[in-house]
A = this chain, B = another copy of it.
Amino acid sequence: MATYVDDAWTALGDPSRRQILRRLAERPCSVTEIAEELPISRPAVSQHLRVLKEAGLVLVRPQGTRRIYEVDLQGLATLREELDQFWGRALENFKRLVEEETEQP
């Protein structure tokens, strides 16, 4: 269940994909629309969207000949939770270490 999200981190490792996702966060739009605002070709955008889709970060909604992509809020929420958990654990261990140091200098 969490194996899915690990790919989300890998997906966000690419600058172009982060830019695409940022774009989709503003409003859903088509492939061509995205490609026009990026310095890469349309097929390249298609491939990035495929990766983002497999990572559970975007959703597709066919509309005529066009395919409207949008952010998958659920996938994004899962990512946020994972980062939160990680952050919490790091903070815990940090506090614990500080306490141990003050107890035994």
Contacts and interface: CB of A to CB of B under 8 A. Distances in A.
A18 to B, nearest CB: 6
Interface string A56-92: 0000000000000011010011011001101101110
Given A9-B12, A14-B13, A25 B93 contact: yes
Contact of A15 (B10, B15, B22, B71): B10
State the number of copies, please: 2
A71 to B, nearest CB: 5
A15 B26 contact: no
Interface in A1-47: 6, 9-10, 12-15, 18, 21-22, 24-28
A10 B14 CA distance: 6
A83 B21 CA distance: 12
Contacts of A10: 13-15
Interface of A: 6, 9-10, 12-15, 18, 21-22, 24-28, 70-71, 73, 76-77, 79-80, 83-84, 86-87, 89-91, 93-94, 97
